[in-house]
Amino acid sequence: MDEAGVDMQVRSLTTPGLHNLAAAASVETARRVNDTIADAVARRPDRFQGLSAIPTPDPEAAPRELGRAVRELGLKGALL
């Protein structure tokens, strides 16, 4: 990052995301991904911020996971 002149990196899950998974698998994967991103941010908050993954195949779990990711893990929002 230093060599490229990057001060801060936003960590997130990229394509294909979770939309192509079964509902249960998307919830489990979102939790693991968000925990991993939050861990990286916690280790280097001066260099990393995070956006959460949302389990969109499960419309009831999606807002719950977003809330957990923001309120409990400290991520800054979501990337859809």
Q: Provide the domain limits for residue 17.
A: 9-72
> Judging by beta carbons within 10 Å of its beta carbon (0-12, 13-18, 19+), is residue 36 exposed, middle or buried?
middle
Domain count along the chain? 1
Q: What digits encode the pLDDT tens for the residues 40-72?
A: 999 999 999 999 999 999 999 999 999 999 999
For residue 2, is it within any domain?
no
**Contact predicate 75/38, CB 8 Å:** yes
Q: Phi first, then psi: give them for residue 48, nearest 5 degrees.
A: -125, 145
For residue 79, is it within any domain?
no
**Across 11-25, average pLDDT:** 93
Band the pLDDT of 39: cuts 50, 70, 90: very high
Number of H helices, E strands in the chain: 2, 2
**Across 23-27, average pLDDT:** 97
For residue 47, is it within any domain?
yes
**Contact predicate 17/50, CB 8 Å:** no
For residue 77, is it within any domain?
no
Model's pTM, two decimal places? 0.91
For residue 4, is it within any domain?
no
